[in-house]
């Protein structure tokens, strides 16, 4: 019996490249974030699943108007557009709707900011709040094309990326203040992650523990 109980509570297999995280992260494969209504034990839940695309905040607003009363918003996403994530989080805060990352679901990157929009935030046991160091170099082919045109083009590209990254960092800082989340989440966790895997250390993601989520006020309810 003891062996059976141990098997039930055994921790998930860690990711060898990102050892703070499970090997598999369930963050949805939808290419655009979908908003669907579900009734879970009498709780009206809006499920937000998929990539945070340019129209995600607009569709969130439309969904809230269409479905009426929403008791919680559940999140499962690999991230996407960082600024749209901030906008969606602001919409949720204005609506006053609690957010939750359920057991087995993962909320990564820009999804973090949608989650933090909830005035009450639940991170269930087995739910994953996953952070990284943001980068604007998502389209590597476009970057190589620019760099191949010479030093002036490369310098112009780098200058633009640096400027936009600084602006986004400032926006993220302001957002955390408004949402009541510690800014140390940025300086002590997010900004210490590698933007890209390099050398022997291939870690680019960090899954917060329950203790860390409470410490930084990411999750403020159980």
Q: Which two tokens stand for residue 92?
A: 């949720």
Of the options 2.60.120, 3.90.226, 2.20.28, 1.10.10, the CATH number for the domain spanning 13-136+181-215? 3.90.226
Q: Which two tokens stand for residue 131?
A: 């952070």
The pLDDT assigned to 163 comes to 55
pTM for this predicted structure: 0.82
Distance CA 120, CA 136 (A): 30
pLDDT, tens only, 193-215: 877 666 667 778 999 999 999 99
- Helix H, strand E, coil C: the string for the chain is CHHHHHHHHCCCCECCCCCCCECCCCCCCCCCCEEEEEEECCEEEEEEECCECCCHHHHHHHHHHHHCCCCEEEEEECCECHHHHHHHHHHHHHHCCCEEECCCCEEECCHHHHHHCCCCEEECCCCEEEECCCCCCCCHHHHHHHHCCCHHHHHHHHHHHHHHHHHHHHHHHHHHHHHCCCCHHHHHHHHHCCCCCECCECCCCEECCHHHHHHCCCCCEC
CB atoms within 10 A of CB 131: 24
The pLDDT assigned to 135 comes to 56
> Going residue by residue through the chain (222 aa), what tens digit of pLDDT does each one get?
444 444 455 567 889 889 999 998 999 989 999 999 999 999 999 999 999 999 999 999 999 999 999 999 999 999 999 999 999 999 999 999 999 999 999 999 999 999 999 999 999 999 999 998 865 444 444 434 444 455 554 444 444 445 556 666 778 899 999 999 999 999 999 888 877 666 667 778 999 999 999 999 999 998
For the chain, the structural domain boundaries read 13-136+181-215
Using the structure block, give the residue that is written with the tokens 């940025």.
Answer: 186
Of 47, 58, 60, 45, nearest to 92 by C-alpha is 60
């Amino acid at each position: 019996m003891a062996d059976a109980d141990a098997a039930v509570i055994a921790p998930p297999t860690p990711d060898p490249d990102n050892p703070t995280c499970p090997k598999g992260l369930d963050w949805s494969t939808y290419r655009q974030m979908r908003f669907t209504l579900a009734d879970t034990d009498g709780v009206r839940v809006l499920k937000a699943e998929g990539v945070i695309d340019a129209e995600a905040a607009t569709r969130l607003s439309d969904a809230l108007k269409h479905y009426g009363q929403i008791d919680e918003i559940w999140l499962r996403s690999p991230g996407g557009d960082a600024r749209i994530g901030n906008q969606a989080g602001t919409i949720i805060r204005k609506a006053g709707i609690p957010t939750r990352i359920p057991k087995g679901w993962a909320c990564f990157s820009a999804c973090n900011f949608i989650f933090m929009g909830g005035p009450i935030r639940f991170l269930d046991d087995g739910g994953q709040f996953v952070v990284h160091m943001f980068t604007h170099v998502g389209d590597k082919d476009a970057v190589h094309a620019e760099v191949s045109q010479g030093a002036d083009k490369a310098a112009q590209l780098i200058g633009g990326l640096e400027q936009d990254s600084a602006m986004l960092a400032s926006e993220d800082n302001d957002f955390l203040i408004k949402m009541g989340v510690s800014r140390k989440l940025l300086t002590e966790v997010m900004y210490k992650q590698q933007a890209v895997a390099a050398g022997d250390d291939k870690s680019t993601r960090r899954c917060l523990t329950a203790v860390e989520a409470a410490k930084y006020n990411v999750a403020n309810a159980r």
